[in-house]
Amino acid sequence: MIRIAIVGGIGSGKTYISNLFGYPVFNADKIVSKIYSSNNKIFYRIKKKLPKFFSTPPIKKEELIRAILKNKNNIKIISKIVHPEVRKELKKFLKKNNNKKAIVLDIPLLLENNLDKKKDVIIFIHSSQKERLKRIKSRKNFNNSIFQKLKKLQLPLNFKKNRSDYVIKNDFKKDSARKNVKHILTYIL
């Protein structure tokens, strides 16, 4: 099985590009959302550590934002509780798709959390900062302070780009994105 790992900055179009490959995608953001909305065990572990911010399950976005804005260390506390659960889900995904020709990993902090393997095909999604900011600001519940804190958790984009096997320049046009993905697939399959 070929592991295709998609990396890039926040708002660069990683999820969109991931889905173009046509192979099973592990989307860490969706998994985290699911954990927040339906995993009561995780809720109570977070509430125990940060009781001032969380009331009743499920974990609400506003509560997360308040906790993170109040103290920069709270994001680390939350991550230490949530990330092991995401890793469990990743293991299940890999086991379930073990017989597939390829899988795609859409994990924003893949390199930061050392989730990459030596043989992974790493693809960096390059897009202009202006376009990324425009896309991020148009998201529901956009909060610039949270965005800045999340950005600090990530490795520099140049490091990710240099660490990658391929670069896709995302101009947010469907045809060019599909063409880039098809081109890369001919090399790696």
pLDDT at 142 over 90: no
**Is the domain of 182 the same as that of 118?**
yes
In this prediction, residue 148 carries a pLDDT of: 87
If you count them, how many residues does the chain have? 189
Six-digit token string for 92:
């299940």
Which domain-ending residue is among 96, 121, 155? Answer: 96
Q: How far apart are CA 25 and CA 185, in angstroms?
A: 15
Q: What is the CATH number of the domain that holds 177?
A: 3.40.50.300
**Structure-model confidence comparison of residues 133 and 101, the more confident one:** 101
pTM score, whole prediction: 0.93
**Is the domain of 150 the same as that of 63?**
no
Which domain-ending residue is among 96, 124, 148? Answer: 96
**Is the domain of 108 the same as that of 131?**
yes
User: How would you class 79 by CB atoms within 10 Å of its CB: exposed for 0-12, middle for 13-18, buried for 19 or more?
Assistant: middle
pLDDT at 149 over 90: no
**Is the domain of 5 the same as that of 80?**
no
**Is the domain of 87 the same as that of 109?**
no
**Is the domain of 108 the same as that of 162?**
yes
**Is the domain of 60 the same as that of 117?**
no
pLDDT at 123 over 90: yes
Instruction: State pLDDT tens for residues 16-54.
Output: 999 999 999 999 999 999 999 999 999 999 999 999 999
**Containing structural domain, residue 74:** 28-96
> What is the rounded average pLDDT of the residues 66-90?
95
**Is the domain of 119 the same as that of 171?**
yes
Mean pLDDT of the chain: 95
Query: pLDDT grade, residue 150 (50/70/90)?
Result: confident
| Number of structural domains in the chain | 2
Q: What percent of the chain has pLDDT over 90?
A: 85
Query: pLDDT grade, residue 93 (50/70/90)?
Result: very high
pLDDT at 71 over 90: yes
Amino acid type, 155 = L
In this prediction, residue 34 carries a pLDDT of: 97
> What percentage of the chain's residues is helix, strand, coil (to nearest 5)?
55, 15, 35
Which domain-ending residue is among 96, 112, 142? Answer: 96
Residues 8 and 113: beta-carbon distance below 8 Å: no
Q: How far apart are CA 131 and CA 27, in angstroms?
A: 22
Six-digit token string for 151:
């950005």
**Is the domain of 41 the same as that of 79?**
yes
Lowest mean pLDDT among 33-37, 59-63, 133-137: 133-137
What stretches of 25-137 adopt beta strand conformation (E)? 25-27, 102-106, 121-126
pLDDT at 72 over 90: no
**Is the domain of 16 the same as that of 43?**
no
In this prediction, residue 111 carries a pLDDT of: 95
Q: How far apart are CA 80 and CA 131, in angstroms?
A: 31
In this prediction, residue 146 carries a pLDDT of: 86
What stretches of 38-120 adopt beta strand conformation (E)? 102-106
**Is the domain of 110 the same as that of 158?**
yes
Beta pairing partners, 27: 106
**Is the domain of 44 the same as that of 108?**
no
